[in-house]
């Protein structure tokens, strides 16, 4: 079965850590029964420590907490940070853990790149923001520009069910991409209350049944565009089919604009994307490089009603290897807000790439290079299938009691968990005060 549109939701755009972290931490502080959280990166910095504290506080109230971390993105987390959580009863699972070989991390392919939070089966967050201080402006010049969406309403049910299955709490349904339950039903059979007028679709990508699900929804939206298409994407090196739809849209008169990295966190990102510039510009695609700081967003708006926010970049890793999650929304108000935020970047913090006449020999080389890259992208999805398609492991971290054995370390009771939450050396609400 495929994902289905679900009516009656509320969606709120969250821009950067200044909006995202307080919203998530407040939701966890209000949790009564359950918190499910997946992330690619969690650092032991001021953001990670506040997340640790709110989770400890929730555990002290008896909230069930399941945390899914990527083994590559969270490889730097040290045992004391994790032991404080597992000792309080937080279940931490690591996706595809791996030991280093001569100091080199080998689990670089097929990463769990999703960023999802579900609280009490009632509120969900989906986007591209990790739990690290570099998503806050006070981090400095390398602070990331990024987005997430807060959701309530019936769409939370399939996200909840998916996150439970990913954490091994419940058996996965026949479709892992967030198929909707019967109309108006939540996971567990409760009636999902209408929360707004947003139609929503939860779409995931994996390496088995839904290898091109997110890309397919992008292509459908671009093909249907009549007036405008605006994509902001951090790592832009899409496949042949996506490029073709963008070029076709521009040729039929759609205002196609891309916001890409101008100050990349990895120089190769800009180099790769720039190989496609002339190829796209020949058909009228306008390209803007965001220059204030590294762009980390993965969002798009089509015409005045369709939009998407999620974790999926438009590059070979996200489109062909990583595990990703996006929410697709149909709502004029949400699309307007997202478009206005992106237009503000274009107006104030981007430079547009202009066509610059090149000497004959150089222009010929550029055309040849663009052709080679274009056909590489056309064949990439087939080639990547040659890579080993291993079954990634999901490892549950033991609590300190399980590691030390009886009599050496006892599982903390609720009062001890509450004491630990007060003693982790972090001031509650620090991020709210900024």
Task: Give me the active site residues, please.
Answer: 113, 115, 120, 296, 298, 303
SS (H, E, C) the chain: CCCCCEEEEEEEEEEHHHHHHHHHHHHHHCCCCEEEEEECCECCCHHHHHHHHHHHHHHHCCCEEEEEEECCCCCCCCHHHHHHHHHCCCEEEEECCCCCECCECCCCCCCECCCEEEECCCEEEEECCCECHHHCHHHCCCCCECEEEEEECCCHHHHHHHHHHHCCCCCCCCCCCCCCCCCCECHHHCECCCCCCEEEEEEEECCCCCCCHHHHHHHHHHHHCCCEEEEEECCECCCHHHHHHHHHHHHCCCEEEEEEECCCCCHHHHHHHHCCHHHHHCCCCEEEEECCCCECCEEEEECCCEEEEECCCECHHHHHCCEEEEEEEECHHHHHHHHHHHHHHHHHHEEECCCCCCCHHHHHHHHHHHHHHHHHHHHHHHHHCCCCCCCCCEEECCCHHHHHCCCCCCCCCHHHHHHHHHCCCCCCCCHHHC
Q: Which residue has the tokens 């000792």?
A: 87
Q: Report, in this order, helix, strand and coil percent for the chain, each rounded to 5.
A: 35, 25, 40
Distances in Å between the Cα of 46 and the Cα atoms of 14, 25, 39, 58, 93 are: 20, 13, 16, 18, 22
């Amino acid at each position: 079965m495929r994902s289905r549109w679900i009516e009656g939701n509320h969606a709120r755009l969250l821009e950067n850590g200044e909006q995202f972290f307080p919203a998530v931490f407040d939701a966890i502080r209000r949790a009564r029964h359950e918190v499910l959280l997946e992330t690619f990166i969690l650092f032991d910095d001021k953001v990670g420590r506040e997340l640790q504290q709110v989770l400890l506080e929730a555990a002290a109230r008896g909230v069930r907490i399941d945390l899914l971390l990527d083994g590559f993105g969270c490889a730097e987390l040290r045992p004391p940070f994790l032991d404080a959580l597992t000792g309080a009863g937080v279940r931490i699972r690591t996706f595809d853990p791996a030991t280093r070989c001569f100091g080199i991390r080998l689990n670089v392919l097929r990463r769990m790149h999703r960023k999802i939070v579900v609280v009490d089966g009632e509120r969900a967050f989906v986007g591209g923001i990790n739990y690290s201080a570099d998503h806050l402006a006070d981090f400095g010049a390398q602070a990331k520009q990024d987005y997430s969406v807060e959701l309530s309403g019936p769409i939370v049910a399939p996200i909840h069910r998916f996150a439970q299955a990913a954490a091994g709490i419940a058996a996965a349904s026949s479709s892992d991409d967030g198929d909707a339950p019967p109309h108006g039903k939540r996971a567990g059979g409760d009636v999902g209350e209408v929360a707004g007028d947003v139609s929503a679709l939860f779409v995931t990508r994996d390496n088995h049944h839904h290898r091109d699900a997110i890309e397919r929804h992008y292509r459908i939206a671009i093909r249907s565009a009549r007036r405008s298409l605006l994509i902001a994407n951090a790592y832009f090196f899409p496949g042949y089919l996506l490029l073709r739809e963008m070029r076709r849209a521009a040729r039929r008169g759609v205002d196609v604009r891309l916001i890409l990295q101008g100050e990349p966190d990895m120089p190769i990102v800009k180099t790769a994307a720039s190989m496609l510039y002339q190829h796209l510009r020949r058909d009228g695609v306008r390209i803007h490089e965001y220059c204030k700081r590294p762009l980390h967003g993965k969002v798009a708006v089509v015409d005045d009603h369709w939009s998407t926010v999620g974790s999926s970049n438009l590059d070979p890793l996200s489109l062909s290897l990583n595990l990703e999650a996006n929410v697709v929304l149909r709502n004029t108000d949400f699309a307007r807000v997202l478009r206005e935020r992106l237009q503000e970047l274009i107006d104030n913090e981007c430079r547009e790439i202009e066509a610059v006449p090149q000497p004959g020999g150089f222009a010929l080389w550029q055309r040849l290079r663009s052709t080679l890259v274009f056909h590489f992208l056309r064949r990439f999805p087939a080639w990547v299938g040659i890579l080993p398609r291993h079954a990634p492991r999901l490892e549950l971290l033991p609590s300190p009691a399980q590691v030390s054995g009886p009599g050496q370390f006892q599982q903390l009771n609720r009062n001890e968990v509450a004491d630990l939450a007060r003693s982790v050396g972090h001031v509650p609400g620090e991020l709210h005060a900024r």
